Structure 1
Amino acid sequence: MGKLIMVRHGESEGNAIRRFTTSGEAKITDLGRRQALEAAVRIKLKFKPILVIASTFARARETGLIIASELGIPIEYEEQFREMSLGDLAGKPYDSIANDPNYDPKRSWVWRAPNGESHEDVLKRVAPVLDAVAKKYLDDEIVVVSHGGVMRAVWSHVTGSWENAHVPPNCGIVVIEHHGGRYSKPEVIFGETPASETGG
């Protein structure tokens, strides 16, 4: 049985001011670096991963590097694990979503920012890559460092439902066991309270 140890990146510059980032190169803050180190310690106490796979966005790369360094394991990068594009809302406050007349909080996963992606779009690009990682590392523990929107999509993919899909806080950890191409229900290891927004 393998395990996917899903970690949301540490606090980013955008998270700190509650605005959607305008670039994939937005970095993590000092708090974000501390969160990444704490996540690494939590992982070390419970698991024995052999590899970190991180999104190519800077905030996930930095978080992944801290975790990989602390655990003494290699890191790779996967472009498809990047955060959902917010299109024209880049740089805008988080609460600007609620001002979009097309946003339905009861079906938030279908909402798409102008010139951006929906959570369903994210699921379509993330699911095949996640499945490939699980297939390649059948009996290994792998850390995947990504984003709130990606982790929400992954939760939906492995459970078959968007309802109550968990969005962890910065450096929240969700573990998904897999065996023979089948996923177990995700287990929240750290970050029980869902975030109020994905926010990158």
Structure 2
Amino acid sequence: MTTTIHLVRHGEAVWNAEGKYQGQADSGLTAAGREQAARAALWLQTLPRVDAVVCSDLPRVRDTAAPYLDATGQEARVDPRLREIDVGSWAGRTFEDVARAEPDVVAAVARGEDLRRGGGETFAETRHRVVAALEDLAAAHEDRAVVVVFAHGGPIRLAAAAALALPSPGHHRIGSPDNCSVTSLTWGPAGLLAYNRPTDLTTAAGCGDR
């Protein structure tokens, strides 16, 4: 059975705007992020069919999903496996601060080494839980179902890598999706339909959750 999944990255968060690592900590949406969420809700309402909505349990994602849920009367199932990668002690610190404090680790990550940044998760571990969530999602719905998933930049990159059958983790070949962009894929079998599709032409590119 094949399920179409539209993955929506959350709106701009405060730490996105401030150039800070975020991970599983949360800084809340900026005013721009809330506006992006409102515009994404309008875009999503143009989809001819949505059978279910699923979202990460982190506040910035649930706040992004709220305008769409309010407009459509849909209810979202919450799945913590869709959380952003855990960056441990790096959360809330600026990219520059971490680069000064741990230059060797930052350089190794930039080379493609899959390390536990700040003592958190590896990208491979994150991909494993995200793929498991998408597999369960596809198995829970009838063939050709359409599901909207509100999530984070890291999990969306990793889901795209899995859909492209890239060796795990695979995210280094894929740029970070913009805030409130939509990435569409099929699952069971997996395939990438569209990546980083804007939901509003005036929406600025957001920095990654890191």
Same fold (TM over 0.5): yes
Of 147-156 and 44-53, deviating more is 44-53
Query: What is the one-letter code of the residue matched to 1:165?
Result: I
Q: Which of 141, 149, 170 pairs up with 2:179?
A: 170
- CA deviation vs aligned residue, 1:128-151 (integer Å, no higher than 9, x gap): 111110121232211111111111
Change (3 A) 1:43 1:90: same
Aligned residue in 2 for 1:135: 139
Q: Does 1:67 align with 2:68?
A: yes
CA distance in 1, matches of 2:98, 2:49: 39
- CA deviation vs aligned residue, 1:111-144 (integer Å, no higher than 9, x gap): 3213111211210111111111012123221111
CA distance in 2, matches of 1:197, 1:23: 16
Aligned residue in 2 for 1:198: 208
3-state SS of 1:101 partner: helix
Change (3 A) 1:72 1:26: same
CA distance in 1, matches of 2:133, 2:73: 24
CA distance in 1, matches of 2:57, 2:164: 26
Change (3 A) 1:79 1:88: same
Count of paired positions: 195
Contact 1:24 / 1:58 at 8 angstroms: preserved in 2?
A: no
CA distance in 1, matches of 2:96, 2:181: 22
Of 129-138 and 87-96, deviating more is 87-96
Q: Does 1:37 align with 2:38?
A: yes
Contact 1:51 / 1:68 at 8 angstroms: preserved in 2?
A: no
Q: CA deviation at 1:166?
A: 4.0
Query: What is the one-letter code of the residue matched to 2:209?
Result: G
CA distance in 1, matches of 2:122, 2:191: 25
Q: CA deviation at 1:84?
A: 0.7
- CA deviation vs aligned residue, 1:25-73 (integer Å, no higher than 9, x gap): 4321221111111112112223421322110000001111222222331
CA distance in 1, matches of 2:178, 2:91: 20
Aligned residue in 1 for 2:189: 182
Question: RMSD of the TM alignment (CA)?
Answer: 2.4
Could you tell me which runs of 5 or more consecutive residues in structure 1 were left unpaired when the two chains were aligned: none
Change (3 A) 1:23 1:166: closer
CA distance in 1, matches of 2:6, 2:23: 28
CA distance in 1, matches of 2:70, 2:140: 23
- CA deviation vs aligned residue, 1:159-193 (integer Å, no higher than 9, x gap): 12125224211101001123xx201224126249x
Aligned residue in 2 for 1:16: 17
3-state SS of 2:179 partner: coil
Could you tell me which runs of 5 or more consecutive residues in structure 2 were left unpaired when the two chains were aligned: 200-204
Aligned residue in 1 for 2:126: 122
Contact 2:10 / 2:179 at 8 angstroms: preserved in 1?
A: yes
Q: Does 1:152 align with 2:157?
A: yes
Of 163-172 and 113-122, deviating more is 163-172
